[in-house]
Structure 1
Amino acid sequence: MSLDRLAPAIFVLLWSTGWVVAKYATIVSEPLTFLGVRYLVAAVLFAGLCLASGVSWPRDGRTIAHAVISGAFLHGFYLGALWWAIGQGVPAALSSIIAALQPLMTALAAPFFIGERLSRAQKAGLGLGFSGVLLAVVPKFFGHGASEIPAFAIVINMLGMAAVTYGTIYQKQYLRTGDIRAIATLQYIGALIVTVPFALALETQHIDFGFAFVALVAWSVLGISMGAILLLLHLLRRGQVSRAASLIYLVPPLAALQAAAVFGEELTVPMILGTAIVVVGVYLANRKDVAQAA
């Protein structure tokens, strides 16, 4: 089976673990400080991989700038906002719902930025996907009172979702060529440029060094920052940006399943039904037919 067929499923499985990592990371470190360490290690390892593989680096300043800017939005602003919001008390399930709005924003914005058009089936798939996400994860935070969830943190989480939407389109618009390993290295440099100042301004850089911290950093870098991101960049380059973004719909239901397994959270019937609806929606949104857009 080709990488193009396997990449979406592998990406979703790897990326969905980020919610478990985010929850654990707030125990052993402040969120932005942890992300700073993660981005630094990822940038160093990617640079080493590029040197060992003899990768051809971008030679013009414009391409380098585009890679750094896209990384600032795809990683720095997005994950920084999401992790900070979770650290401030936003439930992970609610945060995942906000993040799941990103495919809708991407699909709506893509025609204006890169001229993509969606078929009726793809539009139906996006709608089903969002409905499934709501059905799957609403029971996980429905019991929280509105006063228990900081409104400002929710706004920051939403701004993070908008950032990754823009970063996804920016990536497709300006980085159509170049070795994805070199691009990823520059993107993590962009993420560092954004994250470090916020970490210094908002946190004390406290870290509980130990096995848990090292294990979380190792998985965050090798499994998510390297494995999942390389697959995402591959998907963005090979397919339509709206199709790649629609895969995000699978993350919240999978995160709920992982939370049930790892943290013992209840797995309800609505979550199971919502997951099934999401699968159908993602299938429709990723269909490769070229039906006339509505």
Structure 2
Amino acid sequence: MTSSRTNGTVATGPVATLALAAMPAVFVLLWSTGFIGAKLGLPYAEPITFLIIRFASVTVLLALFAALTRAPWPKSWAEAGHIALAGLLLQAVYLGGVFASIYHGVPAGISALIVGIQPLLVAAAAGPFLGEQVTARQWAGLVLGLGGVVLVVWTKLDLGAGSALGYGLSVLGLLGITLGTLYQKRFCPRLDLRSGNAIQYAVTTLALAPFALAFETRQVIWSGEFLFALGWLCIVLSLGAISLLFVLIRRGAAAQVSSLFFLVPPCTAVVAYFLFGETLSLLALFGMGVTMLGVALVNLKR
């Protein structure tokens, strides 16, 4: 006997079990390509302009899908406000920081590595915010992971790759996804992926518009590469990977879900090597290994 619920809370049977088991690996693969999509499309549009086009497109698609499937909408303004704030953190702050960082010359693999420290921060904040215990081993991993990130970023700055502003924007993105993950886990446990995501993308589009008007020319070169990057980020990332992230957050503890992010930097680095020729020095590779070890200490079981 099999059963399923479109809201993602109940699923049994061999097919559903296999799908649930594959979710983490699929999420890591899809999430890694987001940095590549940004790198591919940013030569043809400024970062905030690019994101506004992407989010506006996804908002329309999700609103239509929610209407056709009669998705439930928030029952109160307070619930809608929590969903909107989580979306601003996960979309505007996180993606805005990452896109602007790559636009200012930070390699996609390094931006992924900086944001990949997110599991460490989530584990550190999970105690006071979600009531999850943080052990001495996890604190050791936190220090080790931060040291690895500093080592990688330092070697890249020494080689002239990126700028202090670019790396600062990646750190801003890191804070956005960390706070967004914690906030969504605590305040949006019943978020419907259709209507909830539509609200988040709509609010994010409106929030980013003033920045594009104030700081960018808003010019777009509608090349084939840009259209491919835009389509990939809209369909695969904004509809696919983000939905998987929300399902995983709903089903597991914040620290457990965040542990997946330490697999993103090496996956992104491999793809960036083949597509863009981005390389890492031996010292930077060592720093990446230290970071991954630190995240493992925080998130993996004994």
- Confirm or deny a common fold (TM above 0.5): yes
1:109-137 deviations in whole A, cap 9, x for unaligned?
111111112457766776777678789xx
Counterpart amino acid of 1:14? L
**Is this contact kept in 1: 2:113–2:288, CA < 8 A?**
no
Q: Within 2, Cα distance between the matches of 1:70 and 1:168? A: 8
| Aligned partner of 1:240 among 253, 269, 282 | 253
Confirm or deny that 1:210 pairs with 2:223. yes
**Is this contact kept in 1: 2:114–2:149, CA < 8 A?**
no
**Is this contact kept in 1: 2:89–2:180, CA < 8 A?**
yes
RMSD: 3.0
Q: Within 2, Cα distance between the matches of 1:89 and 1:262? A: 16
1:189-215 deviations in whole A, cap 9, x for unaligned?
222122211111111111111322221
Equivalent in the alignment of 1:174: 187
Confirm or deny that 1:78 pairs with 2:94. yes
Equivalent in the alignment of 1:183: 196
1:40-68 deviations in whole A, cap 9, x for unaligned?
11111111221222211112111111111
Give 1:182 shift: 1.6
Distance 1:132 1:9, change over 3 A: farther
Return the TM-score normalized by structure 1: 0.85
Q: Within 2, Cα distance between the matches of 1:162 and 1:42? A: 24
Counterpart amino acid of 1:32? I
| Aligned partner of 1:113 among 129, 138, 147 | 129
Give 1:278 shift: 3.8
Q: Which runs of 5+ in 1 are unaligned?
A: 290-294
1:205-238 deviations in whole A, cap 9, x for unaligned?
1111132222111110110011000000001111
Q: Which runs of 5+ in 2 are unaligned?
A: 1-16
Give 1:151 shift: 1.8
Counterpart amino acid of 2:191? G
| Aligned partner of 1:56 among 46, 69, 72 | 72
Confirm or deny that 1:22 pairs with 2:22. no
Give 1:261 shift: 1.8
**Is this contact kept in 2: 1:124–1:281, CA < 8 A?**
no
Q: Within 2, Cα distance between the matches of 1:62 and 1:108? A: 27
Number of equivalenced pairs? 285
Counterpart amino acid of 1:182? S
Distance 1:192 1:257, change over 3 A: same
SS at match of 2:174: helix
What are the residue-to-residue correspondences of 1:120-139 with 2, within 5 Å? Answer: 138=152
**Is this contact kept in 2: 1:21–1:216, CA < 8 A?**
yes
Identity among equivalent positions (%) equals: 35
Counterpart amino acid of 2:102? I
Counterpart amino acid of 2:248? L
1:117-161 deviations in whole A, cap 9, x for unaligned?
2457766776777678789xx3x9836536664223322321221
**Is this contact kept in 2: 1:78–1:164, CA < 8 A?**
yes
Give 1:259 shift: 1.1
**Is this contact kept in 2: 1:25–1:216, CA < 8 A?**
yes
Q: Within 1, Cα distance between the matches of 2:239 and 2:256? A: 21
**Is this contact kept in 1: 2:272–2:278, CA < 8 A?**
yes
Return the TM-score normalized by structure 2: 0.82
Distance 1:275 1:228, change over 3 A: farther
Which region of structure 1 is more displaced relative to structure 2, 33-42 or 210-219?
210-219
